[in-house]
Each structure stands twice: as structure tokens, then as C-alpha cells.
């Protein structure tokens, strides 16, 4: 799913990934054999934690996959983790200025979602967008160049860490204002419905965002007009520096939509294999 | 001294009689040639004027987006303005024509559909285009403005209507951060072809929270185009240009002008008529003082010019039409001609449009100024409710007349100011 992009920066990408291969090999005690990477025998995996849902039946806990797919998930998440750690070091070295929001620990959301959707579906998120950009066929070097402010960056070096965009990959950013992305995501879904396209828009937001007014406004209109929008709350239990129990009266975020009849909500805790179930 | 005759008397008589008809016919032919030249010149001038209009149409069209195939030169007679049209009708017809020309254009806002528009500007559009293209929203400015911006990201062309721009303050984050800056931030990947429109400025008796003019606020934001039309021709031409424009446009109308009628020519009624963004119009030529105004104040300025003309002051009235980009070239050229400037606006004085015009003139035409620039703006208070106080808080015609006289050093000792 996510593979190193074969572009003019291919050699640079390969150089970045070489140490990764070496370290993983030494930990595993054996090299990656080509047979595992190409193994397409079907596996059934059951999630370690059950799904919790509101107003909808929870999906089944078992999922079909193959070793090849699992390895590609692992590879993608590993690349994302290494990228975020490197970005953190660059930020401390003041090479990345001001804002640098890391996706460490949340890689599974990006990778799992990408496994279930297509390039024609849209994705929009807040400022914690480095790994989502990669998942949407973004280039590693373009991401770093943008964070450092070089013209080879995905936004020409003009926007920085918080504003990655890739329209041809269906990724609409990259928004610095908390909660702005929710009505924007509904707008993308509105356009897909207007143009009678059979696709969906995924709007990612955080637990801190869930308290903002625009979220409720957008949710109301999305259900009123039956927009093809899926809202994904990435709950890391902190809004900026404030713990969720200090900012939110009800931390059961998956019950927020109860006031809008017809809305279906799924609560997926971090699982070994986070696979997004398509909601009908 | 007597002229010596070559021939004898009789012979010379005969000679002259022979030459006389030739001379007469020569005169006659000369007269005919001159009259033909005169008529030909008039015809040439008329054709040159038509060609100029056609040329303007073609060159200015080149800046706009692609649906150019249907542009055709119109060789109509532009001499007389036959029809009267209200500003409301002008806006309604502009939206109607653009929606019928491009299926990606849609209207979204409060009361735009079943209620036929809060000010009846979108009357009849729901019946014509259906609820998918004329979208009634709940009272959620932040939400539906964000939805409009998101739709524009995906390539649609929304017209977002605010009941007044005072309510747009709820959504100003989306206007500035999601619309105006997006093309820049995405390095050109995501242009935002959206129009934000609605009434701006003071109405009558709606008090402080419903009367502010936002031209200066939006006019300072890079990435936005800000338009403020006056007449029906302005409203129609500029709204059509705004809808076709690939950038976000803030279109500031005026509630008190909606019902006012203006004469419109045949050219204005053409479905491909539009006006260029960024060009001001000289509503009235003058030589003594330049008066700049926008929106409703243009009407006040024109009436002030009539009063000043009776007192021997010839005022040149400029209708700005476009707040951003501001037509500095036209304003400076006018000031260089008249050497005096009065700026008129309804908005608050500090950091206003008049302040920007004053700075521009000082930067570019300081040596041409014969008097300090006079700035007429709304009073520096929240808009009062009582009619007498409201009248004092908004510029009146007498204020413009007094300012022009001050600029011309005609303010007598008895007048205040």
C-alpha cells in the first residue's frame, strides 16, 4: 500500500530506508525472506479488544488478511514512526521552526484507513498531518523539505509542517485552525454528492476538537443533507496540553452524535489490526 | 490701383463668364469633398468606439476562466439607456444567468430557497434550479461557510450568501484562513472559486450589531478580492465577474440600494456582460476636486457634486467599485488633474478605505496635492439607534459638500469645519 515512491528522489529514499532494514533484520535474527513478503495465503486475525458502538451493530472482530499485506502495514507504520522521530529531532535542533505536531503512536489509524479506502475518497485532517500525507501517496523527501521550508516541499516551502496538501492523492490538508477541517470535510462530501460521485470523505479530528461549536454545526448539516462523510476522532486524551477529563464533561466521545438521530457511531480502540469497516 | 486687364473689356467679360462656372463647380466639388470627409470622420469615430468596446471585451475576458466560447461581439447602438432595473433585479439576473451557464455554480445560505431570499434577491431560483443547487441552511454561519469552502476545494463554485456581513463574523475564520489563504498555502494545488455576498454597512434603524461596514477589514487581506458595487450595472457586471473568477471574492452589497432603480443599457442586459475587477469608474468628470466613494456613498457624492457645481466647484466623482485590488492608477491620475482629494466612506474612520487611499496618493502624487486630503467616514462610535443620532453617525450630503469646500479653501468663517 505505501511503498517508497519511485521518483527522481528514489535514491535518496532508498538511502533513508537502508538503516531501517538493517536494524529490523538484526532484531528478528533472520533476514526478510522474499517468501514472506510475497505470501498471499489468507489469514484470519481476531482483534484483541472488542469494538464498542452506539446506535449501530459493532462489526465482527475477525478480519481477513495476508502476510504480504501485514508486512506492508508494518513497513508503512515503521517508516512513519521513523519519520516522526527524525522530525522531532529536527524540531529540537530548530531546523523545523515553530509548530511540529507528531503522529507517534497514531500510525495505525492512517495505515488502517488507507487499507480500506481508495484514492477517489477524500481525506482531510487537522495540523497533525505528516503521516496522513505519506499514506495518501505523499513523498518522504517532499514532506521533510516542506517541514524545513525548502522549495521542493509539497507546498513549495510556503506553509510548513501544518499545511501538507496533495489534491491528486485526495488529501485536502493540513489545517491549522482547530475544527476548521470538519465543515471543510462536509463541504468535500457535499461536492461528491452534488457531482453524484460514489465516494466518501473522511474527516479526522482530535478529542480536543470535539468540543468546538463548528463540529456540532457540521454534524447537524451532514445528517440533515445525508452527506457521504465519515468523521474519525483520533483520541489521544490530550487537547494541546490539557487532559481530556479536565476539558470535557463527557469523555465518551462516541456518544456525542446521539443528539442527531440517524447518525451511526463506532468506537474503535487501538487494536493490533485496525481495519476500518465501511459503514452503510 | 487698378488691375491691368489683359484683354479688352468685352473679351475679359467673356473670359470671366467662361471661367465662372468652372470656378463654381470647383467650389461645389470642394464643398462636397469636405462634407464627405466630415461624415466619414463621424463614421470612423463611431466604428472606433464600437471596436474599442469589443476590444475591451476580448482583452478583459482573457483574464477569466474558460467559458469564453460564447463571447460574441455585439454591434448594437450604445447611445441610449432604455431600461430601468433595480439592484435586486440586477443581482437576481446575474445569479440566474451564471447558474444556467455553469452547472457547478450553486447558492447556499439562510432563507435563499423557500423564503425566496431574505431580501428577495434569490427570488424564483429554487423553483428554477431545485433544492440541490439552491440550498437552505440552518443558522450556522461557521458551518455552512466551511461547507462552501470545502465544496470549492473540490471544484464546485459556491455562492455563499450571508444575511448581512455582520453575521459573517461568525464565519470570518473560513473566509480568511480556509478561502483566502488556501491557494497560497497549497502552492497553487487548491484554488478556491467561491463568492461570499450579502448586504454590508448601515441599513436604517438596525443599530450597532447590524450596521458595520467590513470593506476595510476584508480589503486588507491578501488572497481575497473585495468588490463594492453601486448601480445596477455595477452589481450585475461585478457579480458575474466574481462568480467566474477563480479566486475567493467578497461581494459587499447594500440593503438600502436593493430597491433603487438605475438606467441600464442594452450592453448591460447581455448575458455575457461583466465588468473588470480592479477598475474604478469615473461617474462624473470634474476639474477642481476629486471625490472617491463606494457603494451608497457614490449616490451621496453625485448629489453633492450637483450642489458644488452651482457654487462653481467642479467635482470629479470616482466610484471605486473594487476595494481590493484598489484602482490606485485611476485615483492618482484624477488627483494629479484636480490636485485635491476628498475620500468618502460609510465605514469606521480608523484604518479605513479612505486612510489607504490617502496613503496611496501621498506615496505617488504628493507634489500634486494643493490641499490636505479630506477624509469623510462614519462616526467613531457603535451605530446608534435613535434616528437623529444615526443620521449624525453616517456621512450625509452636506458633509461631503463641506469637505470639498474645505479642500478648495472655500470654507467661510461662518461654516463649521
What is the pLDDT at residue B38? 64
Whether A176 and B177 lie within 8 Å, measured CB to CB: yes
Contact status, residue B157 vs residue B106, Cβ threshold 8 Å: yes
Whether A199 contacts chain B with CB within 8 A = no
Whether A187 and B137 lie within 8 Å, measured CB to CB: no
What is the pLDDT at residue A10? 63
pLDDT (tens digit per residue) in A141-194: 999 999 999 999 999 999 999 999 999 999 998 999 999 999 999 999 999 999
Nearest to A214 among B137, B143, B148 (CB): B143
Closest residue by Cα to residue B167 from B225, B215, B121, B209: B209
What's the rounded Cα separation, in Å, for the pair A213 and A207? 13
What is the pLDDT at residue A243? 84
Q: How many CB pairs under 8 A join A and B?
A: 119
> Among residues B89, B98, B110, B141, which one is catalytic?
B141
Which cell numbers in the block locate residue A123? Answer: 481525506
Q: Which helix (H) or strand (E) holds B215?
A: helix B215-219
Which cell numbers in the block locate residue A255? Answer: 456518544
Find which of B106, B129, B135, B146 to mutate to test the A interface (most A CBs within 10 Å of its CB). B146
Which cell numbers in the block locate residue B267? Answer: 450592453
Helix (H), strand (E), coil (C) string for chain B: CCCCCCCCHHHHHHHHHHHHHHHHHHHHHHHHHHHHHHHHHHHHHHHHHHHHHHHHHHHHHCCCCCCCCCCCCCCCCCCCCCEEEEHHHHHHHHHHHHHHHCCCEEEEECCCCCCCCCCCCCCCHHHHHCCCCEEECCCCHHHHHHHHHHHHHCCCEEEEECCCCCHHHHHHHHHHHHHHCHHHHCCCCCCCCCEEEEECCCCCCCCHHHCCCCHHHHHCCCCCEEECCCCHHHHHHHHHHHHHCCCCEEEEECHHHCCCEEEECHHHHCCCCCCCCCCCEEEECCCCEEEEECCHHHHHHHHHHHHHHHCCCCEEEEECCEEECCCHHHHHHHHHHHCCEEEECCCCCCCCHHHHHHHHHHHHHHHHCCCCCEEECCCCCCCCCCHHHHHHHCCCHHHHHHHHHHHCCCCCCCCCC
Contact status, residue B316 vs residue B284, Cβ threshold 8 Å: yes
What is the residue whose three cell numbers read 458633509? B399
What is the residue whose three cell numbers read 431574505? B118
What's the rounded Cα separation, in Å, for the pair B36 and B90? 43
Nearest CA in chain B to A169: B189
Nearest CA in chain A to B188: A155
Contact status, residue A1 vs residue A73, Cβ threshold 8 Å: yes
The model's pTM: 0.80
Walk along chain B (417 residues) and give the pLDDT tens digit of each residue.
455 555 556 676 777 666 666 666 777 677 766 666 666 666 667 666 666 665 665 555 444 444 444 444 444 444 555 799 999 999 999 999 999 999 999 999 999 999 999 999 999 999 999 999 999 999 999 999 999 999 999 999 999 999 999 999 999 999 999 999 999 999 999 999 999 999 999 999 999 999 999 999 999 999 999 999 999 999 999 999 999 999 999 999 999 999 999 999 999 999 999 999 999 999 999 999 999 999 999 999 999 999 999 999 999 999 999 999 999 999 999 999 999 999 999 999 999 999 999 999 999 999 999 999 999 999 999 999 999 999 999 999 999 999 999 999 987 554 444
The Cβ of residue B374 has, within 10 Å, a number of other Cβ atoms equal to: 24
Which cell numbers in the block locate residue A81? Answer: 514512526
Find which of A187, A201, A202, A213 to mutate to test the B interface (most B CBs within 10 Å of its CB). A187
Helix (H, G, I), strand (E, B) or coil at A2: coil
Q: Calculate how close chain B gets to A84, using CA atoms only, in Å.
A: 22
What is the pLDDT at residue A54? 75
Whether B143 and A159 lie within 8 Å, measured CB to CB: no
What is the pLDDT at residue B69? 42
Residue B155: its chain A contacts at CB < 8 A? 191
Helix-helix angle B353-365:B328-338, to 10 degrees: 60
Whether B148 and A187 lie within 8 Å, measured CB to CB: yes
What is the pLDDT at residue B31? 76
Residue B81 per-residue DSSP state: -
What's the rounded Cα separation, in Å, for the pair A139 and A7? 9
What is the C-alpha radius of gyration for chain B, rounded to an integer number of angstroms? 28
Whether A151 contacts chain B with CB within 8 A = no
**How many residues make up chain B in this entry?**
417
pLDDT (tens digit per residue) in A99-136: 899 999 889 889 988 888 888 999 999 999 999 999 99
Residue A213: its chain B contacts at CB < 8 A? 142
What's the rounded Cα separation, in Å, for the pair A104 and A87? 11
Active site residue B114: no
Cα–Cα distances in Å, from A259 out to A91, A181, A250?
Answer: 41, 21, 14
Whether B184 contacts chain A with CB within 8 A = yes
Domains of chain B: 24-33+79-269 (3.40.50.970), 281-407 (3.40.50.920)
Whether A187 and B190 lie within 8 Å, measured CB to CB: no
Helix (H, G, I), strand (E, B) or coil at A119: coil
Whether A187 contacts chain B with CB within 8 A = yes
Whether B140 contacts chain A with CB within 8 A = yes
Whether B169 contacts chain A with CB within 8 A = no
Q: Calculate how close chain B gets to A91, using CA atoms only, in Å.
A: 21
Peptide linkage before A119 cis (omega within 30 of 0): no
What is the pLDDT at residue A272? 30
Whether B186 and A214 lie within 8 Å, measured CB to CB: no
Find which of A190, A192, A223, A226 to mutate to test the B interface (most B CBs within 10 Å of its CB). A190
What is the pLDDT at residue A241? 81
Whether A173 contacts chain B with CB within 8 A = yes
Q: N- to C-terminal Cα distance for chain A? A: 24
Q: Calculate how close chain A gets to B185, using CA atoms only, in Å.
A: 5
What is the residue whose three cell numbers read 462489526? A59
Q: Which residues on neighbouring strands pair with residue A212, listed in sequence order?
A: none
Closest residue by Cα to residue B362 from B319, B404, B332, B329: B332
H-assigned helices in B220-338? 232-244, 266-269, 296-310, 328-338
Active site residue B2: no
Q: Is A121 exposed, middle or buried (0-12, 13-18, 19+ CB in 10 A)?
A: buried
Q: Is A158 exposed, middle or buried (0-12, 13-18, 19+ CB in 10 A)?
A: middle
Whether A214 and B155 lie within 8 Å, measured CB to CB: no
CATH placement of domain A80-279 = 3.40.50.970
Closest residue by Cα to residue B258 from B406, B386, B118: B118
Whether A136 contacts chain B with CB within 8 A = no
Helix-helix angle A181-194:B141-153, to 10 degrees: 60
Residue B173: its chain A contacts at CB < 8 A? 177, 180
Amino acid at each position: 500500500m505505501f511503498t517508497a515512491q519511485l521518483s527522481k528522489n528514489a535514491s535518496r529514499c532508498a538511502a533513508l530506508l537502508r538503516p531501517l532494514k538493517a536494524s529490523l533484520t538484526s532484531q528478528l535474527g533472520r533476514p526478510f525472506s522474499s517468501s514472506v513478503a510475497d505470501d498471499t495465503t489468507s489469514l484470519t486475525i481476531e482483534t484483541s479488544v472488542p469494538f464498542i458502538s452506539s446506535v449501530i451493530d459493532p462489526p465482527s472482530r475477525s478480519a481477513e488478511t495476508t502476510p504480504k499485506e501485514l508486512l506492508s502495514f508494518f513497513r508503512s507504520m515503521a517508516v512513519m514512526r521513523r519519520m516522526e522521530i527524525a522530525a522531532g529531532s529536527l524540531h529540537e535542533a530548530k531546523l523545523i521552526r515553530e509548530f511540529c505536531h507528531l503522529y507517534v503512536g497514531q500510525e495505525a489509524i492512517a495505515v488502517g484507513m488507507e487499507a480500506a479506502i481508495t484514492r477517489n475518497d477524500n481525506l482531510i485532517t487537522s495540523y497533525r498531518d505528516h503521516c496522513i500525507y505519506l499514506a495518501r501517496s505523499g513523498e518522504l523527501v517532499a514532506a521533510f523539505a516542506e517541514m524545513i521550508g525548502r522549495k521542493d516541499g509539497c507546498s513549495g516551502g510556503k506553509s510548513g509542517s501544518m499545511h501538507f496538501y496533495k489534491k491528486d492523492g485526495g488529501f485536502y490538508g493540513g489545517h491549522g485552525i482547530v475544527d476548521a477541517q470538519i465543515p471543510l470535510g462536509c463541504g468535500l462530501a457535499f461536492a461528491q454528492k452534488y457531482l453524484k460521485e460514489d465516494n466518501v470523505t473522511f474527516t479526522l479530528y482530535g478529542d480536543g476538537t470535539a468540543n468546538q461549536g463548528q463540529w456540532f454545526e457540521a454534524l447537524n448539516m451532514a445528517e440533515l443533507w445525508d452527506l457521504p462523510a465519515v468523521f474519525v476522532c483520533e483520541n489521544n486524551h490530550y487537547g494541546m496540553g490539557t487532559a481530556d477529563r479536565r476539558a470535557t464533561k463527557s469523555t465518551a466521545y462516541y456518544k456525542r452524535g446521539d443528539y442527531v438521530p440517524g447518525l451511526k457511531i463506532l468506537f474503535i480502540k487501538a487494536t493490533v489490526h485496525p481495519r476500518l469497516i465501511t459503514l452503510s | 490701383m487698378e488691375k491691368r486687364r489683359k484683354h479688352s473689356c468685352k473679351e475679359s467679360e467673356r473670359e470671366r463668364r467662361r471661367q465662372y462656372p468652372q470656378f463654381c463647380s470647383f467650389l461645389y466639388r470642394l464643398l462636397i469633398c469636405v462634407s464627405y470627409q466630415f461624415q466619414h470622420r463621424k463614421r470612423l469615430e463611431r466604428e472606433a468606439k464600437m471596436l474599442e468596446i469589443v476590444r475591451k471585451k476580448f482583452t478583459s475576458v482573457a483574464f477569466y476562466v474558460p467559458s469564453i466560447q460564447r463571447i460574441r461581439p455585439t454591434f448594437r447602438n450604445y447611445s441610449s439607456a432604455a431600461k430601468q432595473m433595480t439592484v435586486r433585479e440586477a443581482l437576481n439576473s446575474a445569479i440566474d444567468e451564471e447558474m444556467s451557464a455553469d452547472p457547478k455554480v450553486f447558492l447556499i445560505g439562510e432563507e435563499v430557497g423557500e423564503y425566496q431570499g431574505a431580501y428577495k434577491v434569490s427570488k424564483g431560483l429554487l423553483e428554477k434550479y431545485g433544492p440541490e443547487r439552491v440550498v437552505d441552511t440552518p443558522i450556522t454561519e461557521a458551518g455552512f461557510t466551511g461547507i462552501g469552502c470545502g465544496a470549492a476545494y473540490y471544484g464546485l463554485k459556491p455562492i455563499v450568501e450571508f444575511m448581512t456581513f455582520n453575521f459573517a463574523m461568525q464565519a470570518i475564520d473560513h473566509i480568511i484562513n480556509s478561502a483566502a489563504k488556501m491557494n497560497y498555502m497549497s502552492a497553487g494545488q487548491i484554488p478556491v472559486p467561491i463568492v461570499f455576498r450579502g448586504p454590508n454597512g448601515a441599513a436604517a434603524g438596525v443599530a450597532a450589531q447590524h450596521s458595520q461596514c467590513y470593506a476595510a477589514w476584508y480589503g486588507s487581506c491578501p488572497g481575497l478580492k473585495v468588490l463594492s458595487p453601486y448601480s445596477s450595472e455595477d452589481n450585475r457586471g461585478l457579480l458575474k465577474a466574481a462568480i467566474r473568477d477563480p479566486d475567493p471574492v467578497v461581494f459587499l452589497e447594500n440593503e438600502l440600494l436593493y430597491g433603487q432603480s438605475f438606467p441600464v443599457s442594452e450592453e448591460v442586459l447581455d448575458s455575457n456582460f461583466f465588468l473588470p475587477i480592479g477598475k474604478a469608474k469615473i461617474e462624473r468628470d470634474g476639474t477642481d476636486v476629486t471625490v472617491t466613494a463606494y457603494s451608497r456613498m457614490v449616490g451621496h457624492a453625485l448629489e453633492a457634486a450637483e450642489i458644488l457645481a452651482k457654487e462653481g466647484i467642479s467635482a470629479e466623482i470616482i466610484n471605486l467599485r473594487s476595494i481590493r485590488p484598489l484602482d490606485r492608477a485611476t485615483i492618482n491620475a484624477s488627483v494629479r488633474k484636480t490636485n485635491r482629494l476628498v475620500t468618502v466612506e460609510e465605514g469606521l474612520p480608523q484604518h479605513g478605505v479612505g486612510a489607504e487611499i490617502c496613503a496611496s496618493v501621498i506615496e505617488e502624487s504628493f507634489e500634486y496635492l494643493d490641499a490636505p486630503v479630506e477624509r469623510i467616514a462614519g462616526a467613531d462610535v457603535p451605530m446608534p439607534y435613535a434616528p437623529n443620532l444615526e443620521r449624525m453617525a453616517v456621512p450625509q450630503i452636506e458633509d461631503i459638500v463641506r469637505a470639498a469646500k474645505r479642500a478648495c479653501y472655500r470654507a467661510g468663517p461662518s461654516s463649521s469645519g
